Structure 1
Amino acid sequence: MAGGNAIRGTRVGAGPMGESERGETAPRERISYYCSNGHETKPSFAAEAEIPESWDCPRCGLPAGRDNQSPPAPPRNEPYKTHLAYVKERRSDADGAAILEEALGRLRASREL
């Protein structure tokens, strides 16, 4: 006796149903994109879809454009900044010394009580 939860009419590893069972697919077009590493990517889009100007390269992750002669430049990565680096951009050393002296004055006053 066969298993009770087997799907009738199929076998293990059977592929998807053909177009006659699923219906017609939308007309498609393949567009070439080129990244600065020389990779070519050809995603397919529906014929009536709006085609994007750039696409991420699946091999290296860089942006890819449709012009083979001048692909987009890789994005510039900014180095990680610490909180202290951002504070130093906003405040001068004199401001920092004044804030520190004010905080130390409050701390000393609270200890005297």
Structure 2
Amino acid sequence: MASGSAIRGTRVGSGPMSLAERGQPAPRHRVSYWCANGHETEAAFSAEVLEPDTWDCPRCGLPAGQDREHPPDRQRTEPYKTHLAYVKERRSDAEGEVILAEALARLRQLRAG
């Protein structure tokens, strides 16, 4: 009869597995990235992949590049737009007045009839 223990086969307080039990780690290479604030971030990548040109700085959030002397510029963020702002981009004030007049006429007709 099996026990309901989820950690069956291990003992409490057992240490980490040895390197022989885990196997060999995958070959890696480290790449340094610098942001505009001068923060250095070191990231490890598999030896089989090409590292990205930019990396987000974990300290300030700015983009960081591999060139220490010329880090990437701060990305321009677009301000939040409301639904009304998007509508105003698509319609002129004159078109808005026509649509409003049509909607009010329909509403008045529903209330009258």
Amino acid at match of 2:79: P
Please name the residue that 2:13 is paired with: 12
Gaps in structure 1 of 5+ consecutive residues: none
Pairing 1:53–2:53 present? yes
Superposition deviation, residue 101 in structure 1: 1.0
Q: Secondary structure at the match of 1:38?
A: coil
Superposition deviation, residue 13 in structure 1: 6.9
Please name the residue that 1:67 is paired with: 67
Gaps in structure 2 of 5+ consecutive residues: none
The two structures have a TM-score, normalised by structure 1, of 0.80
Query: Runs of 4 or more off by more than 6 Å in structure 1?
Result: none
Query: How many angstroms apart in 2 are the aligned matches of 1:97 and 1:86?
Result: 16
Aligned residues: 107
Where do 1:73-92 residues align within 5 Å? 73-92=73-92
Superposition deviation, residue 61 in structure 1: 2.0
Percent of matched pairs sharing the same residue: 60
Query: How many angstroms apart in 2 are the aligned matches of 1:6 and 1:108?
Result: 77
Q: What's the CA shift string for 1:45-92, capped at 9, x where partnerless?
A: 222222111112122222211111111112211111111111111111
The two structures have a TM-score, normalised by structure 2, of 0.80
